[in-house]
Structure 1
Amino acid sequence: MSDPMGKMEAAGGLAVTTGVDVNRDVERLRAEGVPAKVAAKDATLWGPEAEEEAAIRLGWVDTFVESKELLAPLAKLRAEFNEQGIDHIALAGMGGSSLAPEVISRTLDLGISILDTTDPGQIVAELGEASLRRTAVVVSSKSGSTVETDSQRRAFEAAFKGVGIEDSTKRFVFVTDPGSALEELANEQGSHLFLADSTVGGRYSALTAFGLVPAALAGADVADLIDQAETFATTIGSDDDDPAVVLGAIIASKPTITIADDGSGIVGLGDWAEQLIAESLGKDGKGTLPVVLEEPGAPGARGSDRVYVTVGGSSTGLPSSGSALAMPDAVVNGPLGAQFLAWELATAYAGYLIGIDPFNQPNVTESKENTKRILADGLPEERPNAVDGAVEIYGSHSTTVAGALGEILLDADSEGAYIAVMAYLDRIDDAEAAKLRAELAERTGAPVTWGWGPRFLHSTGQFHKGGRPTGVFLQLTGEVGEDLLIPGRDYTFAGLQAAQAAGDRQALQSRDRPLVRLHLTHRKRGVNQLLHAVRELS
Structure 2
Amino acid sequence: MAVTATGAAADAISSHVPELVAGKFASKLFAQDPTLWGPAAESESSKRLSWVGLGTSSRPLVAEIASLRSKFSAAGLDHIVLCGMGGSSLAPEVICATDGVPLTVLDSSQPDMVRAALTDRLEQTVVVVSSKSGSTVETDSQRRVYEQAFTDAGIDPTERIVVVTDPGSPLDKDARATGYTVINADPDVGGRYSALTAFGLVPSGLAGADIGRLLDEAEAVSGTLAADDEANPALRLGAALGGTQPLRDKTVLINAGTAAVGFGDWAEQLIAESTGKDGKGLLPVVVGDSPTGEQLADELWVRLVANDDESQPSGDAVINVGGSLGGAMLLWEAAVATAGRLIGINPFDQPDVESAKAAARELLGKGTGDAAPAAYTDGAVEVRTAGPDFLGDATTVADALRALFAQLPPSGYLAVMAYVDRIADQSLADVRIPLAHKLNRPVTFGFGPRFLHSTGQYHKGGPADGIFLQITTAPTQDLSIPGREFTFGDFIASQAGGDAKVLADHGRPVLRLNLTDHEAGLAQLQAAITEVTAS
- Taking the TM superposition and a 5 Å limit, the aligned residue runs for 1:318-397 are 329-379=318-368, 380-395=370-385, 396-397=391-392
Report the CA distance between 1:393 and its aligned residue. Answer: 1.4
Mapped contact 1:308–1:329 kept (Cα < 8 A)? yes
Report the CA distance between 1:72 and its aligned residue. Answer: 1.0
Partner in structure 2 of residue 321 of structure 1: none
| Partners of 1:83 and 1:300 in 2: CA distance | 52
| Partners of 1:107 and 1:460 in 2: CA distance | 23
Report the CA distance between 1:406 and its aligned residue. Answer: 1.5
Unaligned 5+ segments in structure 2 are 386-390
Task: Tell me, yes or no, if structure 1 residue 293 matches structure 2 residue 283.
Answer: no
Mapped contact 1:296–1:310 kept (Cα < 8 A)? no
Report the CA distance between 1:434 and its aligned residue. Answer: 0.8
Partner in structure 1 of residue 118 of structure 2: 127
Report the CA distance between 1:56 and its aligned residue. Answer: 0.6
Mapped contact 2:2–2:310 kept (Cα < 8 A)? no
TM-score (norm 2): 0.93
Mapped contact 1:144–1:182 kept (Cα < 8 A)? yes
Mapped contact 1:243–1:342 kept (Cα < 8 A)? yes
Partner in structure 1 of residue 395 of structure 2: 399
Partner in structure 2 of residue 259 of structure 1: 253
Q: Percent identity?
A: 48
Mapped contact 2:239–2:338 kept (Cα < 8 A)? yes
- Taking the TM superposition and a 5 Å limit, the aligned residue runs for 1:296-307 are 296-297=290-291, 299=292, 302-307=295-300
Mapped contact 2:260–2:325 kept (Cα < 8 A)? yes
Q: Residue 471 of structure 1: which of 455, 466, 471 is its match?
A: 466
Report the CA distance between 1:358 and its aligned residue. Answer: 0.5
Partner in structure 2 of residue 242 of structure 1: 232
Q: 2:210 is matched by which residue type in structure 1?
A: D
Q: 1:188 is matched by which residue type in structure 2?
A: A
Q: Residue 162 of structure 2: which of 173, 191, 211 is its match?
A: 173
Report the CA distance between 1:271 and its aligned residue. Answer: 0.8
Partner in structure 1 of residue 450 of structure 2: 455
Partner in structure 1 of residue 500 of structure 2: 505
| Partners of 1:274 and 1:301 in 2: CA distance | 21
Q: Residue 268 of structure 2: which of 274, 278, 287 is its match?
A: 274
Partner in structure 2 of residue 443 of structure 1: 438
- Taking the TM superposition and a 5 Å limit, the aligned residue runs for 1:89-104 are 89-104=80-95
How many pairs align? 515
**Secondary structure of the structure 2 residue equivalent to 1:118:** coil
1:216-248 deviation per Cα after TM superposition (whole angstroms, max 9, x unaligned) = 000111000000000110102243621111110
Report the CA distance between 1:301 and its aligned residue. Answer: 7.0
Partner in structure 2 of residue 62 of structure 1: 53
Partner in structure 1 of residue 42 of structure 2: 51
Q: 2:5 is matched by which residue type in structure 1?
A: T
Structure 1 segments, 4+ long, off by >6 Å, are none
Partner in structure 1 of residue 406 of structure 2: 410
Q: 1:403 is matched by which residue type in structure 2?
A: D
Report the CA distance between 1:317 and its aligned residue. Answer: 6.9
Task: Tell me, yes or no, if structure 1 residue 15 matches structure 2 residue 7.
Answer: no
Task: Tell me, yes or no, if structure 1 residue 201 matches structure 2 residue 190.
Answer: yes
Mapped contact 1:255–1:306 kept (Cα < 8 A)? yes
| Range moving further from structure 2, 66-75 or 106-115 | 106-115
**Secondary structure of the structure 2 residue equivalent to 1:420:** strand
**Secondary structure of the structure 1 residue equivalent to 2:158:** helix
**Secondary structure of the structure 1 residue equivalent to 2:117:** coil
Q: 1:239 is matched by which residue type in structure 2?
A: D
| Partners of 1:134 and 1:75 in 2: CA distance | 18
| Partners of 1:316 and 1:359 in 2: CA distance | 33
Unaligned 5+ segments in structure 1 are 1-13, 319-323
| Partners of 2:418 and 2:345 in 1: CA distance | 29
| Partners of 1:529 and 1:317 in 2: CA distance | 45
Report the CA distance between 1:49 and its aligned residue. Answer: 0.5
Report the CA distance between 1:404 and its aligned residue. Answer: 1.6
Report the CA distance between 1:528 and its aligned residue. Answer: 2.7
| Partners of 1:240 and 1:373 in 2: CA distance | 50
Mapped contact 1:91–1:115 kept (Cα < 8 A)? yes
Mapped contact 1:121–1:481 kept (Cα < 8 A)? yes
| Partners of 1:126 and 1:462 in 2: CA distance | 28
| Partners of 1:272 and 1:215 in 2: CA distance | 15
**Secondary structure of the structure 2 residue equivalent to 1:512:** coil
Report the CA distance between 1:525 and its aligned residue. Answer: 2.9
Report the CA distance between 1:407 and its aligned residue. Answer: 1.9
| Partners of 2:174 and 2:293 in 1: CA distance | 46
Partner in structure 1 of residue 388 of structure 2: none
TM-score (norm 1): 0.93
| Partners of 1:498 and 1:302 in 2: CA distance | 37
| Range moving further from structure 2, 443-452 or 390-399 | 390-399
Q: Residue 42 of structure 1: which of 33, 50, 57 is its match?
A: 33
Partner in structure 2 of residue 31 of structure 1: 22
Partner in structure 2 of residue 142 of structure 1: 132
Mapped contact 1:261–1:295 kept (Cα < 8 A)? yes
| Partners of 2:506 and 2:279 in 1: CA distance | 12
Q: 2:379 is matched by which residue type in structure 1?
A: G
Mapped contact 1:430–1:524 kept (Cα < 8 A)? no
Mapped contact 1:258–1:301 kept (Cα < 8 A)? no
After superposition, the CA RMSD in angstroms is: 1.7
| Partners of 1:494 and 1:221 in 2: CA distance | 37
